[in-house]
Amino acid sequence: MAAQLEQALAKLKTTGVRMTPQRHAILSFLLDSMTHPTADDIYKSLESKFPNMSVATVYNNLKVFIESGLVRELTYGDSSSRFDADMTDHYHAVCEVCGKIADFEYPPLHDIEITAAGQTGFQVSAYRLEVYGVCPGCTGITKH
Ligand SMILES: [Zn+2]
Ligand SMILES: [Zn+2]
Between CA 42 and CA 70 the distance in angstroms is 16
Percent of the chain with pLDDT over 90: 67
Average pLDDT over residues 83-97: 92
Among 95, 84, 74, residue whose Cα is nearest residue 34: 84
- CB neighbourhood size of 13 (10 A): 11
Cα 85 to middle of ligand 2, angstroms: 7
* Cα 48 to middle of ligand 2, angstroms: 26
pLDDT digits (tens, 9 = 90+) for 93-103: 999 999 999 99
Least confidently predicted of 1-5, 61-65, 136-140:
1-5
Cα-to-centroid distance, 83 and ligand 2 (Å)? 8
Residue length, the chain?
144
Q: pTM (2 decimals)? A: 0.83
Statement: residue 1 has pLDDT above 80 = no
